[in-house]
């Protein structure tokens, strides 16, 4: 017998962006934020940059190419927003959110990025230099001065 979908999935309101998102009843930790917001909170852009580095990646060529295209598109949108006079930080946040939605809605990309976030965290834990690198990455994120976002 098939359990009706609404018995295993219910809807929660994201505490960050206030959108509704599905939560599975069997999940051990019930998230309070939607997928894209969780990606943003975990600094997913760092993972994306990491994946785009030739040597560092367990991503396939095709996946890396798909990511690269997304990132280039995001970079172009960011530049355009800045040229249009939008506040750079604001522009960056909207581009970051749009990219998070795109990645979250693609099953393969989502899996890969989540895995990489885990990997980077793991590295950071055991390695002071990695910690420093993570700090630098975070600083760049705050400044919105990423290589690809200008």
Determine if 66 is a binding residue for Zn ion (CB under 5 A).
Answer: no
Size of the site for Zn ion (CB under 5 A): 5
> What are the C-alpha distances in Å from 130 to residues 16, 51, 59?
29, 16, 21
Contact segment (CB under 5 A) with Zn ion among 7-15, 119-127, 128-136, 137-145 equals 7-15
Which one of 1, 7, 26, 37 is in contact with Zn ion (CB under 5 A)? 37
In degrees, rounded to 5, the angle at the alpha carbon of residue 137 between the alpha carbons of residues 50 and 61 is 10
Which one of 7, 11, 14, 148 is in contact with Zn ion (CB under 5 A)? 14
Contact segment (CB under 5 A) with Zn ion among 9-17, 45-53, 56-64, 93-101 equals 9-17
Which one of 9, 10, 13, 17 is in contact with Zn ion (CB under 5 A)? 17
Which one of 16, 73, 86, 106 is in contact with Zn ion (CB under 5 A)? 16
Could you give the CA distance from residue 88 to residue 78 in angstroms, rounded to a whole number? Answer: 8
Half-sphere exposure of 30 (CA within 13 A, CB side): 13
| CB-based contact 20:93 (threshold 8 Å) | no
Could you give the CA distance from residue 47 to residue 23 in angstroms, rounded to a whole number? Answer: 24
Q: How far is the CB of 16 from Zn ion (least distance, A)?
A: 4
Q: How far is the CB of 3 from Zn ion (least distance, A)?
A: 27
| Closest C-alpha to 146, from 65, 61, 82, 86 | 82
Binding region for Zn ion (CB under 5 A): 14, 16-17, 34, 37
């Amino acid at each position: 017998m098939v359990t009706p979908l609404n018995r295993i999935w219910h809807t929660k309101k994201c505490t960050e962006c206030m959108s509704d998102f599905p939560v599975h009843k069997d999940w051990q930790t019930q998230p309070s934020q939607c997928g894209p917001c969780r990606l943003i909170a975990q600094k997913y852009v760092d993972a994306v940059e990491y994946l785009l580095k030739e040597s560092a990646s367990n991503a396939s060529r095709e996946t890396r190419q798909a990511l690269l295209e997304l990132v280039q598109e995001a970079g172009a949108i960011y530049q355009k927003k800045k040229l249009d006079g939008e506040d750079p930080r604001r522009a960056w946040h909207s581009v970051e959110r749009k990219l998070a939605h795109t990645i979250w809605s693609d099953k393969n990309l989502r899996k890969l990025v989540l895995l990489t976030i885990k990997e980077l965290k793991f590295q950071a834990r055991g390695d002071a230099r990695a910690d420093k690198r993570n700090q630098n990455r975070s600083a760049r994120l705050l400044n919105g001065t990423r290589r690809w976002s200008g």
